[in-house]
Structure formats: C-alpha cells, structure tokens
Amino acid sequence: MRNLSARQLEAIIKSNEYERLPNDTKNKLINKEETNVKDLIPNPIIIKNKNNIEVVTEKILQQLILEDIPSFLKELGNGFSFIDSEYKIKIGDRNNYIDLLLFNIKYNAYVVVELKVTEFKAEYISQVQKYMNYIDKNIKEISNNNTIGILICKKENKFIIEYCSDERITIREYELV
C-alpha cells in the first residue's frame, strides 16, 4: 500500500505513471505477483526542465535532476533516497564518478544511476556493471541486497538491449517537460 493523499494520487494520474509502466509490470500488478524495484520505474522518466534548456549535456541533465531531486525520486517510485551526485570511487589508479548514487529503502539496495543524452549503446551496460560491482564489493553491508542499476538515456534501442541486458540493470528513456 502506498497510502497516498488525494493530491499525490492526482499527481500520479496526471503524470500517466501507470501507462508508462512496462507491460510485464502491468501484468504482475493485475495478477498480484511480486514486483521488484525495476518493475515499477516508469518509461519514460519525466524530468522537469523549468528553464526550457534546449541543448542538453549529461551535466545539464544531472543539474536538472538535482534542482528538483524530490520530484525525480518520486518519479522513480517508492522508497528511493538520495545519497550523492558525482559519487567518487577509485578503481585501480583511476577515479570514476557515479552520476547519482541512491538507496532504495523498500528493497534495501543501493542504486547506481547513470545518465546518457544519446541513444542507448552496449558499452553503457559495462560501465554501470563496473559501478554496481564496486558498490557491492566496497560499500554495501552484508545485510543489503545487491546493487541495482538504472541507465537513463535519450532513446532506447530494444535490439541492443535484448542482447546486452543484465537483469540488475533497468534501461529507461527520459523526457524533459
């Protein structure tokens, strides 16, 4: 149960949240099957663009999210909390930066969010996997579930996703409004 107020329910209906869920998720909800955090992330993810910025880079996309982080977390679904942006990790002798590091309280798991302003490419999966593996090995507690990845890109490519997918990673498009 989400225990929503009338205002919250109205906002969810207005944003077409249910219509943006994958068909597999809708079937799970109808059949009252167990869902996981990936199932409930809508597609596309709506990101507010209050300044009507037309040329979007990854830094600008990240800034738009950070300007209204509560809305972004609500857009992703239940139980998300913000840890940091540009979360620094050191792999070997190189510094790497996770665009957004979140935690999902409901699923007791860290969430790595990687932002891309292009069409999905296969190499994005390995980048997210590397970050997830680092978090699992160096940050997560034994009581936490395995890290989840969310890759947010301008456009999905279902053919590449089909052959390069990892069950722990969700790929979603974004839409600026």
pLDDT at 163: 58
CA–CA dist 48, 105 (Å, integer)? 24
CA–CA dist 134, 126 (Å, integer)? 12
- How far are the Cα atoms of 12, 76, 83, 97, 152 from residue 113, in angstroms, in the given order? 22, 11, 11, 11, 7
pLDDT at residue 61 is higher than 60: yes
Question: pTM to 2 decimals?
Answer: 0.84
CATH of domain 6-176: 3.40.1350.10
pLDDT at residue 90 is higher than 70: yes
Range scoring the smallest mean pLDDT among 35-39, 89-93, 121-125, 139-143: 35-39
pLDDT at residue 112 is higher than 70: yes
The stretch 78-86 carries a mean pLDDT of: 94
pLDDT at 165: 64
Assign 84 a pLDDT band (cuts: 50, 70, 90).
very high
pLDDT at residue 31 is higher than 90: no
Please state the domain extents for the chain.
6-176
Average pLDDT, the chain: 85
Higher pLDDT, 146 or 164: 146
- How far are the Cα atoms of 10, 17, 68, 74, 99 from residue 6, in angstroms, in the given order? 6, 15, 22, 15, 33
**Secondary structure of residue 174 in the 3-state scheme:** strand
pLDDT at 129: 94
Assign 29 a pLDDT band (cuts: 50, 70, 90).
low
pLDDT at residue 1 is higher than 70: no
